[in-house]
Amino acid sequence: MLASTQFAIAFLAGLIPALFWLWFWLREDKERPEPYLLIALAFIGGMMVVPVALPLERLAMELYSGDNLVFVWAVIEEVLKYAAALIVVLWHKAVDEPIDLIIYMICIALGFAALENALFVFNPLSNGDIVQSLTTGKLRFLGSSLLHVLASGTVGAFLALAFYKSDLMKLLFGTLGLSVAIVLHALFNFLIMDSSGETILGVFLFVWMGIIVLMLLFEKVKIIEARHNPAHQYTSS
């Protein structure tokens, strides 16, 4: 199989699951949907973070080791995803209600996850190990992809909670959200590295419970928006 064909397969293996999760989360804002162009830009912006993160992570490998390296990797990815969101979309006038901040942060996260997952699938596929590629794709669909959603969505949730507050409070909430995202990401990395086939379900359960909390935060943010703009009423999703 040609390398170009292998990469195309791996790319689709990363892209299609990410698009599924994107569809799932966009349903949270179906009453006042975001412009498709901005959604696409945010998704692509997340993908563009990967080629920036990889050399920084390789550099980190030369400077750190063990738990320190795992933590630095989490810092690199979460800071870059947040920076990409600030550069690409969060300044736009279409971001006019709190829930938009969570939606766009999740778009960034899923774009990042799509390309990152594609690279993880490509490695075993290029060596002819189709079974390992399928296993990797399945595990990242259920674990790593949602971890990125949880981490970046947490940043978005903190920003959303400060949407109607002062600029200083927005800065503080954004910094706090980023800090929580880094801790969640690093904790997942620590747990997944120490897990085995018997304990990996428990690691995924940690992520899934976090996703439930994120969904509850969505509802909280909808209430905040409804209080400030009674015309913007949301129905239960």
* Sequence-separated (6 or more) residues with CB below 8 Å from residue 162: 169, 170, 172, 173, 174
SS3 95: coil
Residue 196 token pair: 């085995």
Between 159 and 192, residue with greater pLDDT: 159
- N residues, the chain: 237
For residue 106 the two structure tokens come to: 């999740």
pTM reported for the whole predicted model:
0.89
- Reduced to 3 states, what is the DSSP secondary structure of residue 162? coil
Per-residue confidence (pLDDT) for residue 205, from 0 to 100: 87
The answer to whether the Cα torsion of 218, 219, 222, 228 is positive or negative is negative
The pLDDT, as a whole number, for residue 196 is 65
Please give the share of the chain, as a percent, with pLDDT higher than 70: 85
Three-class secondary structure of residue 202 per DSSP: helix
Task: Indicate whether 3 pLDDT > 60.
Answer: yes
pLDDT, one tens digit per residue, over 136-148 is 555 665 668 899 9
> Does the pLDDT of residue 126 top 70, yes or no?
no
Q: In whole angstroms, give the CA distance from residue 178 to residue 156.
A: 9
Question: Which pairs from 224-232 meet CB under 8 Å and 24+ separation?
Answer: 224/98, 224/160, 224/161, 224/163, 224/164, 225/97, 225/98, 225/99, 228/164, 229/97, 232/31, 232/32, 232/97
Range with the lowest mean pLDDT among 42-46, 92-96, 160-164? 92-96
DSSP of 4-39: HHHHHHHHHHHHHHHHHHHHHHHGGG-SSPPPHHHH
Residue 63 has pLDDT above 60, yes or no: yes
Residue 174 has pLDDT above 80, yes or no: yes
pLDDT confidence of 54, banded at 50, 70, 90?
A: very high
Q: What is the mean pLDDT of the chain?
A: 86
